[in-house]
Structure formats: structure tokens, C-alpha cells
Chains A and B, each alone.
Chain A
């Protein structure tokens, strides 16, 4: 079914399906550009991808194989397609953005066979695994998934509701109402692990068998509820393709003890760790941060000094200084005051929109988000080919612009613009190399680091640097109702900017917070303190290249080639969204970036026109006709906002309905 040839001309060819590239694809396609979107991998989202457990094992396998592979290239094939006045710029065929990958399994292998030396990287045939899963009870899974349909509406509504509401301030009542409305839904929607299952040991076989229930992200990020990504999802209507869960709590690790960070007004008042004086102090400080620009006298003496010093000066207790610096502003000791204040303000402004914390997480993992934008692109006519790459660019010598690309099947495809993910660019095309690295660990554990009444919470844990100069480690603990891990487990992501290999950077934190069995399946010995920690069942360490510091001056490429850097180390995705927007404006300066997609219900098909008898089912391969039809559809199928007065009236009416329908039922 994939034997079809591609059209020979596109407005934009995009290589790589990471977040930035996918947003650009959707934005271009949305305004009527013809888009060809390719990825050399057999899955979407590149380094932003999420995998089932078995899928991740294959990804690891692939990585190992690639390390051994000697790249042999056959350039001759496409040489013949280069004409006079053209120059070829070859692209990378191998991705080297992942390094230092290490995997350790601590789950017992008992169940099926007796202990044997495990080759951790050899997973049993995926087919048998899925066979086995079939026999499993599917009831829980079904309930959860069908539930999600409604959950998404809940989320979107929450935000629309908020948007239309004039009050956007940090009102304690607001916050508690919101968090409650979300909380109330939790018990229903989680497949709440029966206590019996909790006690049952989870073996490696079980992880494989339930592998489909995992959606393990390569990149760990959260969405700021008023960040660029959430705003874009709402603005473009791409949010209709995804569902979200709010992050339930923010934790920090102080002196080896995990505790909750009070961040909203409600939290501060409810906190048991803070004294009354501290509560008042913190509230006063946070209220100041919300509109700190109004009170420059408070901080201008510190504009050249670190935020940490400013906090000290504000006479916050050490306790509170740590909370604000590490868990609310999430900056380092060296960050300057104004930046720290801005970060604190951003955090506070995001509070209360969807719940108790400023963050959302997409159900089924972050890897969903690029795919949602790809769907939007496809709906507006973008053509998608996975397992398909570009071998080289064809550059017109005279204008020094890319005029075509030659794909991996040897087809020459014309284009006006070429957008490409950084890892496809060869060293020869780089002017300067400014790589940083991100250290990542992914753990499957048997319970939460801070058990509470509801075990179905997503937690953000900020872990202070072990040495004062080191980077703070960010940990996200996902529960099974986030649809990223099997019931009875937690999926834990650790992220920091690298100073060494991922294992060197993160293993100390892992052993600080988790119990690592000395032999697979071993119980922690009593009285060591280990018993209170969650046990690690499986862990993977790797480094991912962080190219976010690179800009166009780092590449020697034609002006109509736009390079998208990969994921950065930050907690939000604002960097990638802003990059997508700036590339889009570079390509199409006069077009709007991701205007709202029309409601599918607004497009109707009318059968009154005479039917072309006999013609209807001819499988004619007249590509010219196809193309013109596609063009026609691409340009006319959307409702025009300017001249659809009736429609506008209607939506006003809609809003009225909304108002008469009080949100009290939520």
C-alpha cells in the first residue's frame, strides 16, 4: 500500500516529526501550503516520542545496533539526478543525538522460569507478548479509555470557562473549587489498583505482558497551564485531539525527606510544615511576586545580584527560601533576581487555571502532542510518510537556495522551503558546534515516593543539587491513570542538564530516593530505612543532545533551509513553540500562525449536484486531477471568519447559553 509515488512539488518539505517540526507542519498546512512531512523512523515524534515498554526495548535494541553499524553510503544513485547549475548537500542518515544508554532490571524474573543470566536487552518476541495480553481482563482498560473522552472535555471546558471569566487572580476560593472539581473525578477515572494487586510482586514478565500499558516518553516535560503550548493547543483547536490530567502536587526533597511544597494560597494555609509566621511571610512574598513590576523599589537594588540573595534579604526563613528558589521559581543559586521573579510570577499566574498546581500533562504521554499537530496538518492536506527520509538537498548554485530534495527512494521533489530537525544535518554544514547534553533516567517503581490518600496523582519533585554547584534534578512521577504505566507501578522521569553521563548525574538521586535491590526481586532488609522507599523495578539512563543553544548562524545552509533544534532541558515547551512560530513567520511572513481550525460539523457535503454516473469508481490515476482537487479542497473547505456573520452571531448565542448554564454542576 505504500507503493504510490509522491507528488513532485510541494511548498514545504519537512523532515522530522518532533514537536517544533510538527507545529510548523500544522501551521503551514492550515493556511493552505502543500506540506510533505517525513520521518526516517517508523514512529512519530523523533526524540519527543513515547513508547510502550516493548516498544522502548526495541528502541534500545536499535540504539545498540546503530552503535555497531558502520555507515556505508551509496551516493552514486542520486548523483545522476543533479543537473547543471545544481549542487547537492547530503544529509545525515544516522541519528547520533542519544548516547550513554544503560539499562538495569531489578524486577524478579521468577514467574515463568528460574533465575538465569538475563540479557536485559533481549525482549521476548513482541508477538507472544501481545497474545498473552489478550487473555487479560480488559475491563479496567476499557473503562479508563472511554472515560477519557469525557475527561478531555472537562479540561477544555475548565479553561474556556476560566478564559471568559474576568477574575484571573489568585483567589483561594477559586483554587480550591477548581482543584476539587478535578479531584472529584479522580476516584472514578482511575483504575484504582486493588490493594491485593499492590502486594503482588511485579516481575519482569509482568512488565512485558502489560507492556502496552506503558507510554514512556524520551523527553519529560510538563505543560504550564498558561504557557505557549497550552495557548497554542487552545487557539488552534488541536486540543480536541488530546486529553490532559493536572499535576496533583509539587514535592521537594530536603535532607533526604520528601515533602510537599505549598504553592497555592490554599496549600499555604493547609500546610502543616509551616508555622503561622512562615505562612504569612510566604503569602506576602507570593502576592508581591504576582505583580512585582509595580514595586520596583522592592528589588531594584538586587537587579545585578542573584535571586537567592534577594530571598535572603526578604527575611524568608531558610525553609521558604528553598521552596521559592527550587520548587516555585525552579532556578539555580546563580539566577539573577529579575529572572527569578519572572519565573515565580509565571508559576503563580498558571496556578488555578486547571487545578492546584500550574501544570498539565497529556494523557498517554508527551509524545501525543506532536502527533496531534501532525493530524491537524493531515486534515488540511499534509502528506505523511514515516520510514522515509531525504538523502540530499538540491541547491541552485546561482540563488543559493534549495529547489528540491532527493528522498530515500531516489525521487526528486521540488520545494520552496525545507524545514529539518537538527540531527539530520551533517557536521560539514555546521559552522560552530554548541551542544549541551540532557541527562535522563526513566524508572519503573512499585509505588509513589510520597504515598497519600490518592495514589493517582502526578507529582513534580524538585531535588536540590547534591553539590551546591551541580544542577537541580527535576523528577516527574506519573501514576497509572495518566495512561503511561501499568496499575501498581509508577513511571518516574528524572531530568537535568548534564555535567557527566546520565548515570553519573542521576544515579545518586536514584539511590537517595529509591530502593535498589541487590538481587532482582529482593526485598529491602528491615531497619535500614530502605523499606520506606519505593523499589526500582527497571531503570534506563541516557543522554540526549540539547541543541537548543544553536541558531541559524551555527549552520552553513541555504536561506530557505530552516533548522529546528531538538528538545531543551527546560520544564515547559515554550522554547520549541516559539521556535516553531518564528520559523513559520520566516516562511510565511503575512500569514496567521495556527488560526482556529473550523469545527468539522461546519463542513457539509451536499449530494444535490448531479452525480457523474459511471465515473465515480474509476480508479483513475490522473494525478493532475487529484492535485487540482486537493487544491480546491484545501482552499475552500474552511469557513471564512470575515464574511460569516451568521456564524459569529451564532457563537455569541453559544456564549450566552454557556452563561445561563451555570458551571456549578461541574
Chain B
């Protein structure tokens, strides 16, 4: 198992008499504005010590074992968690600041903490989301069949204008593949959500998935009145890499 844990240089919240995690957010709060976004003209400090202009919450959803945690770790740390099965332990949420059109967008990406395993995800998890990445595993038919059920749950509890993106993960596993790319595209079309295939193992389209979501959210939040709408699916189609093409 290649999973290693280490302390980052930055603080730990284990000091008994203080709660640095809360204190660290101090900087963020000072320049925060009423509607949840942080004012662009006043950069703020994120938990990890990075400055950002605007912040969003992104939630990962999908069956157990489709690679939600792997996708998160690949995006955040550029690493891949090998091993036959990693049930989520200890991953709560992670922050990453992306640079989008000269603006620093912080994504706070939340993992299900394993509560999806027996379909017991708390409602608050969906409700707080600005964007939801809905994953299935291309080597696992039932994870694909369950997408519909997840969407029902999302529509019941999430905000109505939440950004949803469908991801077919483990696209590198060509031999074990059961769900065809076209099937994913068809399903996405049916529900009117953007779609791409990803691989947390090779990194295929992982960065793109999060970047696309960040672009869409940033665009929505700061839209000038007569600016044209950001076309998420078009952007994705243009930037997307096919399976086996290259390792981004």
C-alpha cells in the first residue's frame, strides 16, 4: 500500500488550548462577504496557507468503491492510492486553490466519509454543495445503474442550481471496462449534465473536471450582466482527453 501519511509543515489542530483550524480561517473571514464568496479585491488566506479570492464547496457522490477518494487525492496531492479497496477513513475535506483566468478559486472538496456505503449520506452533505461530482466506475455496471438513484437523492436535497457533473472513473482499465463511453454520454444527455471519463490512476481529465467546475462556479458568481453564459459542456469537450491519449 502506497498510502503514506505525514504532517505537512503547516500547523496541526491538536494543540489542546487552541483551535488553529478556526483561527486560521480568521484571515479568510475578515475579507469575506455576505454571499459566501470572498471579495476579489481582497485576497484571503486559506487553511493551507494559500491566498484565494473566491471559495466554493464541491462534493463527491457515487457508489462505494468508484474512486471518489482516489480522485480527490489525485487532484489534491497528485498521488494515487493503490490497493484493492480503500474505504474512506480520515478524509473529511481538502482544499485546493486553482488559478482561473487570473483569479484564485478555492475549492473545498468533501468526501462522503463512507456514509454512501449503505446509502446513509446526511442531507447536509448535499445541501451545502455548490457543485457535485457524480462518479461511477466504468468497470462496475451497478455503480452506473445507481446514478439515477443518486440523482434522485441530489435533486431532493441539494440546492436547485447546484452544478452537477457526471464522471466515469477508472477509464484506464480498458480490459475490465463494462460501461461504454457512449452509455455514459447518453445518460448524461438524458439528465442534462456534462460528462467525461476520468482516471484517478493515470490522472486523465482529473484536473479538467475540477477546473471546469471551478470555471463554471466562478463564472456564475461574478457574471457581468451582459456576459455570455459559460458553456461548461463545450469547454469540457474542447479540453477533454480521450482514453489512452496521454497522461495529463
Contact = CB atoms under 8 A, between A and B. Distances in A.
B127 A654 contact: no
Given A606-B4, A630-B87, A133 B9 contact: no
A342 interface: no
A518 interface: no
Interface in A343-392: 364, 368, 371-372, 374-375, 378-381, 383-386, 388
Contact of B92 (A379, A607, A630): A379
B39 to A, nearest CB: 11
Q: How large is the interface on B (under 10, 10 to 19, 20 to 34, 35 or more residues)?
A: 35 or more
Given A44-B123, A602-B7, 13 more contacts: A4-B118, A44-B120, A44-B122, A153-B28, A380-B89, A380-B90, A386-B119, A601-B10, A605-B77, A608-B4, A617-B176, A619-B65, A655-B23
Contact of B159 (A138, A239, A636, A650): A138
A350 B81 CA distance: 47
A640 B16 CA distance: 12
A430 interface: no
Given A601-B47, A606-B79, A160 B18 contact: yes
A74 B139 CA distance: 40
B56 to A, nearest CB: 8
A647 interface: yes
Nearest to A6: B118
A646 B9 CA distance: 8
Contacts of B47: 599, 601
B128 interface: yes
Interface string B54-88: 01110000011100000001001111111111110
A164 B15 CA distance: 14
A141 B161 CA distance: 9
Interface in A610-647: 610-612, 615-620, 622, 625-626, 629-630, 632-634, 636-641, 644, 646-647
B14 interface: yes
A312 interface: no
Interface string A585-603: 0000000000111111111
Interface stretch (A143-151, A250-258, A298-306, A555-563): A143-151
A551 interface: no
B192 interface: no
Interface stretch (A282-290, A575-583, A658-666): A658-666
Given A150-B34, A665-B30, A378 B113 contact: yes
B24 A661 contact: no
Contacts of A136: 160
Contacts of B20: 599, 650-651, 654-655
Nearest to B34: A188
B239 interface: no
A119 B78 CA distance: 58
B156 A130 contact: yes
Contacts of B117: 2, 4, 383-384
B89 A386 contact: no
A651 B34 contact: no
Contact of B36 (A145, A595, A654): A145
A123 B229 CA distance: 38
Contact of A602 (B13, B19, B139): B13
Contact of B15 (A4, A133, A651, A661): A651
B66 to A, nearest CB: 10
Contact of A378 (B28, B56, B79, B114): B114
Contact of A599 (B5, B13, B82): B13
Contact of A658 (B23, B142, B143): B23
A157 B25 contact: yes
B124 A371 contact: yes
Contacts of A629: 1, 83, 85-87
Interface residues of A, number: 103
Nearest to B11: A650
Contacts of B95: 601
B80 A1 contact: no
Contacts of B28: 150, 153
Contacts, number: 313
B40 interface: no
A380 B115 CA distance: 11
Given A1-B63, A599-B20, A149 B57 contact: yes
Interface of B: 1-16, 18-30, 32-38, 47-48, 55-57, 63-65, 73, 76-87, 89-95, 113-120, 122-125, 127-128, 130, 139-140, 142-143, 146, 149, 155-156, 159-161, 170, 172-173, 176, 201, 221
Contact of A149 (B36, B89, B119): B36
Chain B at the A interface: SS class: loop
Contact of A634 (B9, B89, B143): B89
B32 A150 contact: yes
Contacts of B86: 629
Nearest to B84: A620
Interface of A: 1-2, 4, 44, 130, 133-134, 136, 138, 141-143, 145-150, 153-154, 156-157, 159-160, 163-164, 185, 188-189, 234, 237, 239-242, 364, 368, 371-372, 374-375, 378-381, 383-386, 388, 595-612, 615-620, 622, 625-626, 629-630, 632-634, 636-641, 644, 646-648, 650-655, 657-658, 661, 665-666
B5 A647 contact: no
Contact of A385 (B32, B90, B120): B120
Contacts of B21: 237, 240, 599
B23 A599 contact: no
14 contacts: A149-B55, A160-B18, A188-B35, A364-B127, A368-B124, A379-B113, A600-B92, A605-B81, A611-B80, A611-B201, A617-B201, A619-B139, A633-B90, A634-B90
B10 A650 contact: yes
Given A146-B130, A629-B1, A638-B90, A383 B9 contact: no
B14 A647 contact: yes
A651 B11 contact: yes
Name the residue among B85, B125, B161 with the largest chain A CB count within 10 angstroms: B85
Contact of B27 (A371, A596, A609, A661): A661
Given A141-B160, A383-B117, A647 B7 contact: yes
A605 B26 contact: no
Q: In this complex, which of A1, A147, A618 has the most chain B Cβ atoms within 10 angstroms of its Cβ?
A: A1
A615 B82 contact: yes
A145 B159 contact: yes
Most buried by B among A145, A234, A239: A145
Contacts of A143: 34-36
Given A146-B37, A153-B25, A160-B23, A597 B82 contact: no
A633 B4 CA distance: 10
Nearest to A372: B124
